[in-house]
Amino acid sequence: MLRLPPFRLHQPATIEEAAAILAGEGDAARLVAGGTDLWPNLKRGHQRAEQVIALRGIAGLGGIAGMGGMDGGAELRIGATAALTEVERHALVRDRFPALASAVESISSPVLRNMGTLGGNLCLDTRCTYYNQTEEWRRAISYCMKAAGSVCWVAPSSPRCWAVQSADSAPMLVALGASVTLVSAAGERELPVSALYRDDGMDYLAKRREEIVTEIRLPAASAAPRCRSAFFKLRRRGSIDFGVLSVAVALWLDGEVVSDARIVLGSIASLPSPATAAAAELVGRPLTEEAIRAAAEQSRAAATPMDNTDLDPRWRGQVTPVYVARTLRAAAGLPAPR
């Protein structure tokens, strides 16, 4: 049985107290909300912590509400410690951002969604076949770059780590133009979710070490019916497994013509990857079968899966246009192909 290593647990009552502890403890401190990522990582020795700061007990850090009112024209605020189950089931999320509810509903299993939080999912550690193993396994092949070694076993000649970002909420939040609020002892700032990630499997968050994600905001302009959205996740099993490809789509129409489009691919790189050329194929055109097919063909260039996750990477690259087309059809309200 894998056991947690010893550490000191802090349970601050306010976000200011939590930020002060985090600033004072330096690299020895870790944040925890639901613990579905941190606890397994500590047990397997992927991460280390002398101090753990628990956020779940801080009042006001959770909850879901429309900002400036509860009607369909308001921005939606989701507290960072809101449980994933609460997010997927909340009426405001399901009515106004249905694809986000679908993305969150695809995360792991019901038990872990009861524990995990939206803020925690956004900050999920990157994953890799050569990294997410027991201490003995990793020591036997010589540690990889992400675990005290000097070589990335996915691409041994590369100077960087290629671990994959598999947070299912992230591609959808990027497509919807969401932002996060970050708080530290020095103050507060807001960052687009698209700017929260770096293309580096080790240094994968643009969030500074001393900052805490406190809330996620979704703009009213991305809510239904102004925006049509859809989400798809590919994995070996229909539950529990991490994705090996996800597709997040958000479309804005002016009459019958697409005025703006975003297609974001997940679980194929160290950050959520916008398929910019694919989205550009849709803009200025009616949302027809021909336009969807052209966009899907362009999406292949945005997908370069590596062999550090489940299923064959060449096959995953080949089926990317297929699943982009299916997700676009779902957003357009077109029937799914047989």
| Residue that is written with structure tokens 């489940």 in the block | 310
Dmax (CA) of the chain: 60
Helix (H), strand (E) at residue 273: strand 273-274
Domains 1-124+167-224 and 227-332 share a fold: no
Query: What is the rounded distance in angstroms from the CA atom of residue 210 to the CA atom of residue 35?
Result: 19
* Torsion from C-alpha of 234, 235, 236, 241, nearest 10 degrees: -160
Q: What is the CATH number of domain 227-332?
A: 3.30.390.50
Find residue 250's DSSP bridge partners: 229, 262
Q: What is the pLDDT along the chain (338 residues), one digit of tens a residue?
A: 789 999 999 999 999 999 999 999 888 899 999 999 999 999 988 899 999 999 999 999 999 998 754 444 689 999 999 999 999 999 999 999 999 999 999 999 999 999 999 999 999 999 999 999 988 898 898 999 998 899 999 999 999 999 999 999 999 999 999 999 999 999 999 999 999 999 999 999 999 999 999 999 999 999 999 999 999 999 999 899 999 999 999 999 999 999 999 999 999 999 999 999 999 999 999 999 999 999 999 999 998 888 899 999 999 999 999 999 999 999 999 887 76
Which residues are CB-neighbours of 49 under 8 A, at least 6 positions away? Answer: 5, 7, 28, 29, 30, 38, 42
288: Cβ–Cβ under 8 A, 6 or more apart, which residues? none
Domain 1-124+167-224: give its CATH code: 3.30.465.10
Phi, then psi, of 246 in degrees rounded to 5? -135, 150
So where are the chain's domains?
1-124+167-224, 227-332
What's the whole-model pTM score?
Answer: 0.95
Q: How far is CA 73 from the centre of its chain?
A: 25
Q: How would you classify the pairing of strands 29-32 and 64-67?
A: unpaired
